[in-house]
Copies of this chain bind each other. A is one copy, B any other.
């Protein structure tokens, strides 16, 4: 299972990616969570310290290793049971293996095209077992879709807040994701504060497009400014993720 998470900046892609990563890990899946935004916040969201995140080598560096080993099944390198490379290229975040696409590059040095190209190649060469889940936390906006980085994902989760700009971006991302041949593209509405916002979302997306809603949580807001401990499967918002998962599996069944 390869899941990509996209949306307008600030919609809560990283929150959703981390929530699903924890959920699958809690069910016994081997989860690989990839931060595809340079300087992104998936590591902290998964409870890793700056030191732990900095110690992880970007997957771009993995290319040398994969060439040596003839390419296929690069995720093999990440498997903690194999030993060796796993500790260089990933960090354990409470049962989730955290990876990052790229570090922040110097100002005016270059784009991230090469990294996106490699991430796409890596995703397409992965031989995933039935109990493996890869979750890609993409950068904001549409450039990764123009680049086609997520081609090969099984599921695109499009995260939006209840704002016109978020909804417009979500619609554009839905259309682009379908254009990449991603079979399942579902919207998750995040930070819903009120019934007015819930109605706004339901007026903008058809039932079959909408996976579900996540409500604004005081605990999540406090966590964002560093109050409270590291995230865990016991976080108060996890039941809402479980409800999304239920709906996802029932959608898959139909």
Contact = CB atoms under 8 A, between A and B. Distances in A.
B168 A41 contact: yes
A141 B140 contact: yes
A107 B9 contact: no
B164 A226 contact: yes
B109 A146 contact: yes
Number of copies: 2
Nearest to A42: B165
Contact of A145 (B10, B107, B116): B107
A176 B146 contact: no
Given A107-B176, A180-B108, A224-B163, A39 B142 contact: yes
Given A8-B10, A163-B225, A180-B108, A38 B143 contact: yes
A139 interface: yes
Contacts of A14: 165
A219 to B, nearest CB: 14
Contact of A141 (B38, B109, B200): B38
A112 B143 contact: yes
Interface in A186-204: 196-197, 200
A164 B44 contact: yes
Interface in A133-172: 139-143, 145-148, 151, 161-165, 168-169, 172
7 contacts: A41-B164, A44-B165, A44-B168, A45-B165, A107-B176, A108-B146, A111-B113
Interface of A: 8-11, 14, 37-41, 44-45, 104-113, 116, 139-143, 145-148, 151, 161-165, 168-169, 172, 175-180, 196-197, 200, 224-226
Given A8-B10, A104-B146, A163-B225, 14 more contacts: A8-B41, A38-B143, A39-B142, A44-B165, A104-B142, A106-B176, A107-B145, A107-B175, A107-B179, A108-B151, A112-B143, A139-B140, A140-B141, A200-B226
